Each structure stands twice: as C-alpha cells, then as structure tokens.
Amino acid sequence: MQTYLIRKLAHGAALSENDRALLKHLARCTRNVEPHKPLVSEGDPVQRVFVMLRGWACRLKLLPGGQRLITDLILPGDISHVQTNLLGYADHSVVALTRGVVAEIDPLEIPDAIERSPGIARAVRWSSLQTDSILRQALINNGRRLSAPRIAHVICEVRARLLAVGVPVEVGFAWPLKQDELADVTGMTAVHVNRSLKTLRDDGLILLQQRRMLVPDAERLAAFCAFTPDYLHFTYASADERRPQLHAIALETERL
Amino acid sequence: MQTYLIRKLAHGAALSENDRALLKHLARCTRNVEPHKPLVSEGDPVQRVFVMLRGWACRLKLLPGGQRLITDLILPGDISHVQTNLLGYADHSVVALTRGVVAEIDPLEIPDAIERSPGIARAVRWSSLQTDSILRQALINNGRRLSAPRIAHVICEVRARLLAVGVPVEVGFAWPLKQDELADVTGMTAVHVNRSLKTLRDDGLILLQQRRMLVPDAERLAAFCAFTPDYLHFTYASADERRPQLHAIALETERL
DNA sequence: CGAATAGTTGACTAACGTCAATACTAGTGG
DNA sequence: CCACTAGTATTGACGTTAGTCAACTATTCG
C-alpha cells in the first residue's frame, strides 16, 4: 500500500531496506477517503501529516466571490502538510478528487525518523523542494501559455508524475478531473476547458473518454506545450524503480 | 545590516539575543549587487544560501519562446534557496531588481545553527512555509483576478511584507518594478500593466511616480482586490518588532 | 545635446468569459 | 425495462478582457 510513497521518495534519495521499512511504519495508519470530501478544511487545526497512498486529491483555496482555485494536485505517493503543523491550522483546504487511501502521520514521529535515516531526511527535503518547483511551474504555465497548451502541460505533468511512481501511463490512465476542476487548476472557465480539450482531441494529441486519458504520442504533446520534465527533479532513482512491472500491469488495464 | 533578516524571522519564532547574534554571524559575508545582474543563473551550481539584506530581487524562469515569468519577489529579509543546495544546481534564476546587498551563507553552517537554536530552526521552517503560501496566493491572484485587482494585490502584498520588516510604507516606499517586470510578475503584457496602473491611479487607489509607491488608503486598496494578509502568516512577532524606529528607517530607505 | 530606455496612448485583433440551450451519462426507483 | 433526475459535457451567440502593433512622449544618462 505504501509502495507509491516509497517509489516517489526513492527519486529524492537512495533508500535502504531499513528506510523503506521505516517509511511503511510511519505511514501505517491509513484511512479511506471519498471524492469531494475535504481531508482538511481551511482554518482547521492540523495535527497530522498526510500521505496520499491511492487516488487523487488537491489543495484549493477559495476567493470571497465564491471562486476556487486548485493550487496543487496531490497524486499517489505525494506528501501533504509536511511543515504546516508549525502554524497549527490549515491555510488551505485539501479535498479528495477520487475515492482513495491516505495515511496519517503524527508529525512528532518525523524528526525521529529524519534523525535515524539520512536517506529519509534527504528524501523529505527533496519532496518539498519538488512541491515548490511544481508550484512555480504552474505559475508560469498559467501565466504565459494559451489555453490548449496550458491544459496539455497539466496532462504532461500528471503523466510524468504518475509514471515516476510506477503507474503504467502508456496504456492510458485514470483521469478523474472533471472539466470544472480542470478549470480550477488552470485558472480558466469550464466552458473554455471544454473547447480546449476538444482541440487537443481533434488534433489527436490526447484520447480522453470515460475519465480515462491516453496520450498516443507523448513527445508530440510535450512539444505542443513545451513541456520538459526537468523541473520535477525525477533524476535520482534507477530506471528500474521508475517503471516497474510494466507488462504485468499493462495486461491488467489493457481495455480502454 | 542584518536587521531586516532578523525582523522577518522574528515573525516565525521568538528569537533570543543569542539567536540574533547567531543570525548576524551566519549572514556575515555580504556582497553588493547591481540591478539586472543575475545572482544565480538557471543551471548554475548552487553552493550558497542567499539572504536579501537590502534591495529587491526576484526568481524568474524563462520559456522557450523567450517569454519570462517572475515567480517570487525577494524583498529585504527574505531567504533564497534554503534547500536548493540539495539539487546541486539552480532550477531557476535569481536576478537583482535594484542595487542591494545580499549575504551568502554556507549551507553547511545551517544544520549546526538549527541544532543549536530551536528558535532559528522554527523560524527557518516558517520562512519556507511562508514562501509556499505566497506562491499559492500568486497562483490564485493570477488565475482568478482581472488585471487591475491583480496588480493591486501585488502592491498590497509587497506593502505588507515591507511593513512587516519595518519599512515605513505609510510615507510611500521605493517601487523599483518597471512595467514590463510587473507584467512578468502578473502574467500580463507591459501595455496592459500600463493601462491597469492608470485605472488604479485614476481611481485614487495608488500614487505612483518616479518609482515611488504611495497607497493613500490601504483599506480601500485591500478591499478593491480582496487582499487579506493572513496568508503571509505575520502573526508571531510583537507590534514593536514589526514597526521599529519608523523615522530612522524612513531616512535610510529614502536613498535606496 | 542625443541616444537609449521606459512609459503612454490609440486602433485593432485574438483569446477568453458569459449566458443559455441542448445532449449525454450514471444512478434511482417504479 | 423504462422513465426520471442530477450532474456533466457540448455547442452557439455574444460580450469583455487582454494582447498586438505601432506611434508618440517622457525620462534618464552619458
């Protein structure tokens, strides 16, 4: 169950068997979540660190006018609120986008783990560095790209992040984002997202139906939106670790 | 010289006299910087942590098409690249926007300081939390606001951040951002920034001339763009600490 | 003083938002 | 199995916002 977490952190540092066991132990308290149910609400006291073990979630903030914006997509393996317990309350909400499983970690256990394992210490720092980098990239994406490449970039990023934790994206992958949610990710309106998705489909850049996304030619989509995965900093782990049991899972999910 | 740094960090944690001395010692190596000169270039090896002691800088990333976007404004007291040395290279550039002074800290000295002082440990974590929060707010600002309130929000934020480290904003403050730079902050074009600034001026919300910004009615400007300073998390320090020696500094910054 | 840089303005175009009607889909209960 | 419903997706007509191009003015600096 904690596989995604370990696969993700393995990109940030070499993890020994001990480190992996320690991580599994840390993320031992799991909880099922339902779509659209908030994991954390803005203003709530926060005493836990979350790890997304399965499914998607997002951080979002509300504007006075009732508008929303999704600032981060939280994918399997991602850690949320590493430092937030410092404030004592959440300055943004975290909402599940799919059915899923999260682990809750007592933040008091973390310093101990960090002290015992330099690998974990490094990996956790790397992870928050990655979060920052993704945020900055989103700022650029939303600020300096037209609608279609903007959406394409989100798709490329999600695909790369899923690939990095071992989801077999080559055969298509679950795409839970509704059009209004994608609008809140990209700072657009749902209607315009619809039109932009249509052009991506019409140009054969994506195949999206029944909440499944297939990118027939990843290079072409990346070229279309000038996506380069370097800002994700997925460079540390071995290729093995990045793409495990491809064929096994491919068979499983063959049907589109 | 390190006053801004200490004033800023004092918002994140209570700092003893010892802590302050330690911070001064950490930031002892200072360097003058010139406007538009990069402090760090994307791809460069990074072995230093920077602290902005005087003047403004920014982080920016370039797009293939030659477009730029400024992801962070770095104001006096701000720390840059706390964790980046983990990657070994810079994934974005840092460029000075004004003449100024930066301190360079050897990252190897930081763990020691953190171990010796819980106050500094907490303050540094708080600082990177604030950076994250500012990034998320920028995403919302640029994604869900029209041009004039978007710019107004940047002005409100800068004003609040300067106020928090003791710059006497009530009498007007130095505003080094050229219109094309403000365009890169907000994800707009310079022409449209110009028009939006004009409407802000025409509505009496700001007074901007000769690179000096005066906000005659901060509440009105904040209301105009629905700015609330809570995401900056400037809540820890005492009011004294936040607004020290108003007139003394007024003289000081007049020259900058 | 002239050259370079920054700011301003107008006319026009492209991108995106708004409103509203319609179609599709999945789940529900008869 | 068929309505019925609520949520989601799609499409068109139209309005608004922001971008583009280009001329012109103001400021700065050598």
Are B50 and B39 in contact by the 8 Å Cβ rule? The answer is yes
What tens digit of pLDDT does each residue of A98-153 get?
999 999 999 889 889 999 999 999 999 999 999 999 999 999 999 999 999 999 99
Nearest to A142 among B64, B128, B139 (CB): B139
DSSP characters for A106-133?
Answer: -TTHHHHHHHH-HHHHHHHHHHHHHHHH
Residue B162, pLDDT > 60, answer yes
Residue A203 DSSP code: T
pLDDT at residue B81 in the model = 77
Token readout for A196 is: 């932009």
Residue B54, pLDDT > 80, answer yes
CA B3 to chain centre: 15
Residue A12 DSSP code: T
The minimum CA-CA distance between B129 and chain A, rounded to whole Å, is 7
Residue B247, pLDDT > 80, answer no
**Which residues are CB-neighbours of B170 under 8 A, at least 6 positions away?**
B246
**What's the half-sphere exposure (Cβ side, CA atoms, 13 Å) at B115?**
6
| DSSP-derived 3-state class of residue A147 | helix
Flag if A69 and B186 touch (Cβ within 8 Å): no
Residue B236 DSSP code: S
Chain A CA closest to residue B185: A143
Residues of A in contact with B49 (CB under 8 A): none
Token readout for A57 is: 């979630």
CA distance A161 to B178: 37
List CB-based contacts (under 7 A) with strand C: A 146-148, 150, 187-189, 191-192, 196, 210; B 178-180, 190-191, 194-195, 197-198, 211
Nearest to B135 among A63, A69, A135 (CB): A135
* Torsion angles phi and psi, residue A86, rounded to 5: -65, -35
Flag if A187 and B91 touch (Cβ within 8 Å): no
Q: Which helix (H) or strand (E) holds A146?
A: none
What tens digit of pLDDT does each residue of A59-75 get?
999 998 889 999 999 99
Any alpha helices (H) in chain B, and if so which ranges?
3-9, 17-26, 109-116, 118-144, 147-164, 179-186, 190-202, 218-224, 239-242, 246-254
- The rounded percent of chain A whose pLDDT value lies above 70 is 91
CA distance B92 to B95: 10
* Torsion angles phi and psi, residue B192, rounded to 5: -70, -30
- Which one, of A92, A212, A73, lies nearest residue A153 by Cα? A73
Q: How far is the CA of B57 from the C1' of C29 (A)?
A: 64
Q: Tell me the pLDDT of chain A averaged across its residues.
A: 89
CA B69 to chain centre: 16
Nearest to A187 among B59, B133, B143 (CB): B143
* Angle formed at CA A222 by CA B143 and CA A200, multiple of 5 degrees: 70
Q: How far is the CA of B195 from the C1' of C10 (A)?
A: 12
Please state the pTM of the whole predicted model.
Answer: 0.91
Confidence of residue A252 (pLDDT cuts 50, 70, 90): very low
**Which residues are CB-neighbours of B16 under 8 A, at least 6 positions away?**
B117, B119
Chain A CA closest to residue B188: A143
